[in-house]
Amino acid sequence: MLATAALGVPKAVAAGRDSAPDVTGDRFDLADTGARLIHEKTLHHETVMQSFAFDELHGHIYALQVIPSGVQLPGESRTYSHTERHDAGDLCLNRLSMHGEVLGRMYLKGFGHGTAISVDSSRSSWGGAVTLWVECDANPVSGFGRAIGRFPYAENTVLHSADRRVTVYRPHPGSTANCAALDLNNRRLLLRHGLPGRRRYALYNLDAFTAGVFWPLIDFAQPGMDLGLPFQGMTLDGDYAYQLMGAGRDANSSAEPDNTVLLHCIDLSTGAVVQEHKSRAGLGLTHREPEGLAVLHGPQAGEPQLCMGFASGPEGGRKFSLYGLPVL
């Protein structure tokens, strides 16, 4: 089900960009209730969508989820529980249409929690292949990634975090909870990483980072860590970063209490929060757990949108929905 602000097959905004133009980006209206773009679709498995990203060149969405109980992949001697998959960092990577229909999948073993995913399908990347950026090298204690991995999408395959096809980046050795967001228009990468007792963001030139040069343009403490809300995603657009926080509510309740979904807009020239808002997007969803954040630049109609993901439905039968917030 698509609303009037529906997703279309977008134009190739990132194609052919080999050098960074002047930094541009949009401020989005975090106070808007959001236009429903995709309503309660199912991924390949009925576990929660962890994060998502748009491939604007080919008109696809990529989404991550933890593998559920009872799945035995090629090369495995037995099935594993959902908890074992979570702790090992085993993920299912879904390839979707812009309407949310599952088109394909691959499996990622030992990568992480899937807190964020980014897609680079620009013609300057891997000779035109779709490249994914995901946390990798899962910490066996927590299941969260200790590095960032870059790899080409390969349908119906199982990829291990230590596979030679994965290019691994460790800008902060010894860190955990790593995840990255790309801004292809401006050739920038935003990294989140965790050290004992703290979480930080760092902004990099994408091409320098890809070459292994880890000189941040700015490095600052992640805001909102004192609120006690789970971190659920981030994205990057020009001079602004956006982060999503919140937990799901009881699936039997649609009431507002204890279902805070908090958005922050961060000015990347200073690291300061310029807007904070408790979002009412998707308020009628059962469970309503925020999961993932991404910017959609080029739908056939309308302006760029800041897109929020939500999980809904009962445990063992989760659905996902996307809502889009307009520019200010």
- Residues 4-20: tens digit of each pLDDT: 344 543 333 333 333 44
Least reliable range by pLDDT among 66-80, 183-197, 229-243, 250-264: 250-264
- Is 0.85 topped by the overall pTM? yes
Please, what sign has the CA dihedral across residues 81, 167, 217, 213?
positive
Q: Is 80 exceeded by the pLDDT of residue 123?
A: no
In whole angstroms, give the CA distance from residue 86 to residue 147.
17
Task: Give the type of residue at 327.
Answer: V
DSSP state of 175: -
CB atoms within 10 A of CB 278: 13
Reduced to 3 states (helix: H, G, I; strand: E, B; else coil), residue 126 is helix
Distance of CA 201 to CAs 46, 252, 261, Å? 31, 36, 20
Task: Give the pLDDT score at 23.
Answer: 79
In whole angstroms, give the CA distance from residue 124 to residue 19.
10
Q: What are phi and psi of 225, to 5 degrees?
A: -70, -15
Instruction: State how beta strands 102-109 and 158-160 pair.
Output: parallel
Task: Give the pLDDT score at 125.
Answer: 61
- Give first-to-last CA distance, the chain, whole Å: 26
Q: Which two tokens stand for residue 132?
A: 């994914």
Pick the more confident residue, 124 or 187: 187
Per DSSP, what are the bridge partners of residue 118?
Answer: 133
Q: Is 80 exceeded by the pLDDT of residue 254?
A: no
Q: Collect all residues with Cβ–Cβ distance below 8 Å to 257 and sequence separation of at least 6.
A: none
Residue 4: is it exposed, middle or buried by C-beta count within 10 angstroms (0-12/13-18/19+)?
exposed
DSSP state of 48: P
Q: Is 70 exceeded by the pLDDT of residue 251?
A: no
Q: Which two tokens stand for residue 72?
A: 């035995």
In whole angstroms, give the CA distance from residue 13 to residue 56.
7
Instruction: State how beta strands 188-195 and 319-325 pair.
Output: unpaired
Residue 16: is it exposed, middle or buried by C-beta count within 10 angstroms (0-12/13-18/19+)?
exposed
In whole angstroms, give the CA distance from residue 242 to residue 273.
9
Q: What is the DSSP string of 196-258?
A: TTEEEEEEEEHHHHHTT----SEEEEPTTGGG-PPEEEEEEETTEEEEEEE----TT---STT
Q: Give 268-285 pLDDT, tens digit per residue.
A: 999 999 999 999 999 999
Q: What is the DSSP string of 55-94?
A: ETTTTEEEEEEE--TTB--TT-SS-B-HHHHHHHT-EEEE
Q: Give 156-176 pLDDT, tens digit per residue.
A: 999 999 999 999 999 999 999
Task: Give the pLDDT score at 171.
Answer: 97
Q: Give 22-58 pLDDT, tens digit per residue.
A: 677 779 999 999 999 999 999 999 999 999 999 988 9
Pick the more confident residue, 24 or 238: 238
H/E stretch holding 135 reads strand 131-138
Least reliable range by pLDDT among 117-121, 235-239, 255-259: 255-259
